[in-house]
Structure 1
Amino acid sequence: MKFVAAVFCLAFAASVHATSIARAKTVVNVLQDLGTENTLIALVQKAGLVSALEGKGPFTVFAPSDAAFAALPKELVKTLEANVTLLTEVLEFHVAPGTALSTDLKNNLLVPSLAGPKIRINIYDTSEPTVITAEGAPVISPDHTASNGVVHVIGQVMFPVPMGTVVDIAVGDKDFSTLVTAVSKAGLVATLSGEGPFTVFAPTNAAFAKLPAGVLDGLLKNVTALTNVLTYHVLPGAYYQAGLRNGDMLKTVQGMDVTIMSKAGGDMVNDAKIEAQVSGTNGVIQVIDTVLIPPSMHYELTYN
């Protein structure tokens, strides 16, 4: 019996020791164990951030998978690798102080990052499965706990949010000059520069150029009609592409719904293709290739 008891004690002690070792794994060890974070680990090493992430913390790491990095343009990856300052800023934007499990994340929560700019969290739970995004990047594998924090695997690489509202971003992009003129003419600059959050389906200059002859000039001369069209492009709340689902009908600020459709070529809002998305401090811009016309105005603008 004494021998059996001794063996049991040794086995129990070994189990406790193994558990202790498991609990002592830092977020860096967790990233290594996942097996999907080789690119991130290599970049963390290049930026000299390993010892920091092995520190006391705690940290919440939004960790892009290898596939997420592989989806980036090769030239962008080369730029990051060649510029340690920029690389460090991007990597630190993926780390928040504190431990935030998925159950701690709330819709429109703004989480401070180690880089400074805040990470916008969104939760889309209108249907199964619930989608959690960080700056639009879907959380594909959450809650990998470590001794000094937690790792959430994400499906896209995040970049620090431009320091400005959705209006500031549009003003700074020459491809939105027609939209900026229209928003200013309608007196919507102050509204869209507010706290939000907003989703702006933003037509490019090329999208406005596709309108029938005379329609844009007519809108710019009729502030009521122009406002009606522009507010049909705005949703209350931040809707990133990862949270848009086929068949969603979303109410615009104008009052009527737009419909989301997923096709082989990408997501659509009504008959406009969503070409890209850009985060701002008060929401998100979804770049579209066609101007959205409220159904109540379609005949009037198209045929008159």
Structure 2
Amino acid sequence: MKTLLISLVAATVLGVVMSLPFQRDTLEPLIPLVRSLGATKFAHFVHEANLTAIFTRKAGNFTLFVPDNKAFESLSRNITGNKTLLTQLVLFHSVNGTYNRSELIRNKKLRTLLGRFLFFNQTKTKAVFVNGVNITGFDKRASNGFIFIVSKVVLQGSGLLNTTNNKTSAQPRPQAYDLCRNGTWGRNCSHHGNGTHGNFTNYPIQHVNGSICINGTYGRNCTHHGNGTHGNGTICPNGTWGVNCTYHGNGTHGNVTHGSIAHILSQSYGQYSTLITDLMKSGAWSEIEGTHVTLLAPTNAAFSKLPTAYRNNLDNDAKFLKSTMMYHILNGIHGPQTLHQNDMLTSLEGHRIHVSTHNGHVHQFNKVSIRNVIHATNGVIYVLNGVLHLPSNPIV
């Protein structure tokens, strides 16, 4: 009788344990789970875009909308063969935070890691769509988020539609091009004036690695045109030419880029992956999505110079990480032409930042040198060759 009782108790306990939800530690991380679900192409593209580290448990919790392998068969090589565009594509399919099916319907829209939105709707038959694409697999639980399987690559609203073309023809599709103000055709033209910005072709003839500039000449990756650029050159404010030109004319320098701060960082993920991860992990990412922002942006190389103990503190102390990230963000647009020697700027963290100039141009913040300045649609980015440390936490 005693033996029977023990057996019944053991069976009851085992049944309770088996009925409990899986513990967090028994679940796979997001990207390994993506592979387990058979979406190997998406996992491969995450790797190709150097985004694997951003979706680890250490980086935070995310919800991914993963196209199945078949969905990528119709996607143009214009995207899959371009690391910058591939990065944008993956980030557009990714949302910070964990959402299940009912929460998607309740929220109706979510901001992606690219800064653009995914919109959700449910039909009378309970089918759920994201930006017009059917969700076929729901609530795949990872140790640090959820995965939803989608039947197609989500392009609507991504800003990538104009980079696709007809795979069966070498001729670009007319709808992939915009008629610009001066009558020429271009791809993704955004700032017109009497010409266009972006990577252009003179429709219908596609020029090899070339971009049509305002004066009608062709070059590669021309950004700020003036009377046109050639090769990898950029026209500087004083009218001179150069690659990665530094301070000129009115004190601005570097590459003039159209897009938000978040968008620019995402486009250059390989250079700013540590900063992006830290901004997202600390919750400071939302601050750079404001309307008037100045970001002091250390590169990956800058973070790599931190002492191991200091980096470990950033990784293990959430409060310290957030304070450090907020110390690199300023409210308002502080362009180079507005700054002067010994100016003191107040960060969102609350501590002041000292400005140094050289030959009349802004040169350093707290003795950390500025490598480049990038003008965004919602502010300005100062690219730094070091990480700013809080006065209470010196880097030694």
What TM bracket, shorter-length normalisation? 0.3 to 0.5
The higher relative CO (CA closer than 8 Å, separation ≥ 6) is in 1
Give the TM-score of the pair, scaled to structure 1. 0.48
